[in-house]
Structure 1
Amino acid sequence: MDAHYSVEGAILTGRYTPPTHYVFKIESFSKLTKAIEDKYSSDTFDAEGFSWKLSIYPTGDESKNGRGHISIFLELDTSLAVGSDVNVTVNLFVFNHFEDKYFNGRVKRYHALKKTWGIAKFIDIETFSNPQNGYLLDDTCVFGAEIFVIKNSFKSERLSMMNEPSTDFHTWKITKFSSNMTDDNYYSGYFGDYGWYIWLCPDRTGKSKGNSILVSLCTMKSKIPADTKLFTKFILRVKDQMDGNHDVEIEDNHLYSSNNSSSGRVEFLSLAKLKDPKMGFLVDDTVTIEAKVTLIGLVKKES
């Protein structure tokens, strides 16, 4: 499990694996502190298609209120056009010799006018310098950097809810039901602007082993405009044709597209219940299924 260490201005998380892109070991850290006025910057290194430099402030970057702390910054050393930016997740590390872990904090986002990011109060000097804490051992310490550029290859969609949702209704009467339920697929007629239809079949392979019916609400793929999805709310109902007290229905929302033109198979009703004369579903060997489909929104791709 990762360890956590908190200091003012940063929350450091520990892990055993070293930084992916750059490790900077400093021997005789105390001599470095005396030899430089503010910071030491590494040589340029490449990561994620860009060039970078790591800068360490042994006594803190006072311009950013880092006095009393080790400050650490990562500079983008690649030219960027004005107005362009690079979205980046950056992990900056310090190694703990006793725990054999790299402790890190995070920074982000570079652009032409802001090419250096870091943590002014990365770790306080008192904690860092105490040999019992394990960060500075035999006057040696290790820092590191890990850079992951977030590439803008995302897809974008926009959902527009309908101010006045349109609703289509359909009643499907399946006559000679007992003799017709021998095939695997049954389809109602098309209805509505998007070519809706009801699909029904006996569940021959599922849990019920032919003792129930499956149902789905489908649409004609050719009726759906390019780069568009239909956000719908629908009800499918088996009618009690005697007194209407036993209607069985399913209600759901579904997003239809040219690649997903079915709401999915749902176990609708057991055959035993459907054929029970007291329920009123099967009258004169006819079953009545009703559909109500409301288009409540459109989802469109955006460039």
Structure 2
Amino acid sequence: MKMEWGFSKFISKKILCDPSKGFLVNGNCVFGAEVFVLKSKAVTECLSLKNVLTPYKGNWNISKFSKRGGVWMARKISVGGYKWELWVYPKGDSRGSGRDVSVYLYNVTPFFSERIKARFTIWFENHFSKECIKATGKL
């Protein structure tokens, strides 16, 4: 069972660090995520909206983003009875190779052993226009 889902090449560092693009202003950026967990007894291709639990939606201000190395972790969130962490690698992980920002959603639920159906969207917000660079995935 996979414990992480995400994007090794979420946004290029060139775009993120360009002041005219508006994603990194005074060394700070706004990062967000939305997670939906679908409850069902069996995994099927049919999706009913009544099975969708209330999603988690949050924004985080990451200060001194351009100076950070390693990984930045958002506080743990709880969605659909599962615990999640959002990890941002400002300089990219080994797959992002230093040219891209990498972003992952991790299931950190103790004793996790079942299949989860979920959808998630991760974004970086533009400080000037409030438009976002978004990517969506599903588990």
**Correspondence for 1:217:** 105
Q: Closer, same or farther in 2 for the Cα pair 1:204/1:164, shift >3 Å?
A: closer
TM-score by length of 1: 0.27
Q: Is the 8 A contact 2:86 2:104 kept in 1?
A: yes
Distance 1:204 1:252 in 2: 18
Equivalence for 1:252: 137
Higher relative contact order (CA 8 A, sep 6+): 2
Counterpart selection for 1:158 from 29, 42, 48: 42
RMSD value over aligned CA atoms? 2.5
Aligned-partner Cα distance in 2 for 1:216–1:244: 22
Q: Which runs of 5+ in 1 are unaligned?
A: 1-156, 255-303
SS in 1 for 2:110: helix
Question: What is the alpha-carbon distance in structure 2 between the residues aligned to residue 204 and residue 215 of structure 1?
Answer: 9
**Partner in structure 1 of residue 114 of structure 2:** 228
Identity %: 13
Cα distance in 2 for partners of 1:223, 1:244 equals 39
SS of equivalent residue, structure 2 residue 101: strand
Secondary structure at the aligned position of 1:244 is classed as coil
User: CA contact under 8 A between 2:76 and 2:84: conserved in structure 1?
Assistant: yes
Determine if the alignment matches structure 1 residue 192 to structure 2 residue 78.
Answer: yes
Q: Do 1:170 and 1:191's aligned partners in 2 also have CA atoms closer than 8 Å?
A: no
Q: Specify which structure has the higher proportion of strand.
A: 1
**Shift in CA distance, 223/192, structure 1 to aligned 2, threshold 3 Å:** farther
Q: Deviations over 1:170-210 (max 9, x none)?
A: 2121112122x22x22211111242222111122544x631
5+ long unaligned stretches in structure 2: 1-40
Aligned length: 92
Aligned amino acid, residue 236 of structure 1: I
Is the 1:198–1:218 Cα contact (8 Å) retained in structure 2? yes
